[in-house]
Amino acid sequence: MKEVSVTPEITVKRLIRFQQEGAVKAVCDVALGDQILIRGLRVVESRQGLFVSMPRQQGKNGKWYDIATPLSRDAKDTITSVVLEAYNQEQKSQDA
């Protein structure tokens, strides 16, 4: 079977910022082209700064498992960049 690689446009369809204290600063939904919607990505603040966490689900054994996982570092970096840009734009618009 021949692999076909297509890079879809990644867009943030919904972003909800949280005002309360805590590590999770926002949740968002990301569209891959006009084909797939990934719900529940989180913008998290750590000591090293903001990062994007993929959606997770808790298994019956109590461990957490990613529901969606980027298959390459480039894909993860692109998703992170798009989500953090949308988060920063939302923050600027609320501060204005």
CA–CA gap between residue 57 and residue 59 (Å, rounded): 6
CA–CA gap between residue 35 and residue 73 (Å, rounded): 21
Q: Report, as an integer, the average pLDDT of 5-10.
A: 78
Question: Tell me: the pLDDT tens digits for 70-79?
Answer: 988 999 999 9
Domain boundaries, the chain: 10-91
φ/ψ of residue 33, rounded to 5: 65, -140
CATH pick for 10-91 out of 3.30.1120.40, 1.50.10.10, 2.40.50.100, 1.10.150.20:
3.30.1120.40
Question: Tell me: the pLDDT tens digits for 26-69?
Answer: 999 999 988 999 999 999 999 999 999 999 999 999 999 999 99
- Residue 96's pLDDT is 62
